[in-house]
Amino acid sequence: MLDKYFSTRLEIKTNILKNNIDYLRTKIAKNTEIIAVLKANAYGFGDIMLAKKILKHGIKNIAVADFEEGIRLRKNGVNSSIMIMYPGFNNLEPIISNNLEPTIYSLEMLDNLIFIANKYKKKIFFHLKVDTGMSRYGFLQVEIEEAIQKIRMQKNLKIKTIFSHFSSSKSKEHVSFTKGQIEKFIIIKKIFEDRFSYKIKYHISNSHGLLNYKNENFDMVRVGFGLYYGFNNKYTSCIGELKSCISQIKLIKKGDVVGYNKKFIAKKNMKIGIVPMGYADGLRRSWGNNKLSFFKGNEFLRILGEISMDSCIVDLSSLKNINVGDEVILFGKSRNIFNLCSDLNIIPYELTACLSKRIRRVLI
């Protein structure tokens, strides 16, 4: 009931979310599971509300980045499997105590997990990450034998999944590199299958990986991009529409200064509007002075001068009928997020993941 009082709103289209999930399922085998990635507040779209919606659509596995994100979901009634992809060395205990599943990516972390398992005499399911070429988190292949020996000695530890991460699965220029990652992963998979008698699940594909390397999706796929943004094709769409409004309208004269530091001085009489959205909401200060624009009807409303912490100023001179309270769009149905981000030389992640939590998320 409070939604109507928020001037700036990120509206989440649940029908598009379902459509994106349905599309993803057509691209994977029936027995391949989807892991919904909800890190960074579900890429900025709202982790708690989306977790509950995603689970209703039959997805049973969730992944987040760190222990705080996992605990937040647990405290808000999300009882599914929650994988912590990038835990810190020092926060394994709260992960285990909140029935979350840590990823172990180094020998040092494995030793710490063993210590915790022995301390609490508790069976712990965990995920093991291997580095197949991205040089980020994950065991190197030369470390795997030592890791296996340590794990096999522990009755309270059980590997739930083993995974790696594609570096360049979207790019057609790096097909040979990606195939090299897959080959390394298959070798590692065979090593673990030979050394462990129980079933371990394997996954390496992200959103673009599951599309471009369909035969290598293994047991599971990890999806964030495809859930929230779709693939910029006729079958999928971005689930969000970011709206604000015009808070005040002014008529200014030639020579008037707009915003901080005299970055814009009117060269003619103009009509301007104040939009209650600034860099504290996720806009970048550097996007001011004609770099970013809002959209109204068929008109782009360019930002004049510097973006402030809580507001920005747009040129309304081209609009004859515009009133205080009228909506303006940053991205959504009438303005493709991919086109907007291309104009800003960023990717959609950079835009939505940085949206402030003070922006109201609303399910539609």
Catalytic residue among 13, 39, 53, 129: 39
253 among known catalytic residues: no
SS3 347: coil
Return all residues near 264 (Cβ < 8 A) that are at least 6 apart: 257, 258, 289, 304, 305
Query: At residue 360, what is the residue type?
Result: R
* CA geometry: angle 89, 209, 184, nearest 5 deg: 65
Calpha distance 271→324 (Å, rounded): 13
Question: Could you say which DSSP state residue 261 is in?
Answer: G
Calpha distance 44→238 (Å, rounded): 12
Calpha distance 243→294 (Å, rounded): 9
Return all residues near 119 (Cβ < 8 A) that are at least 6 apart: none
23 among known catalytic residues: no
Instruction: Please tell me the total number of residues recorded for the chain in this structure.
Output: 364
Catalytic residue among 56, 122, 260, 333: 260
Catalytic residues, by residue number, are 39, 260
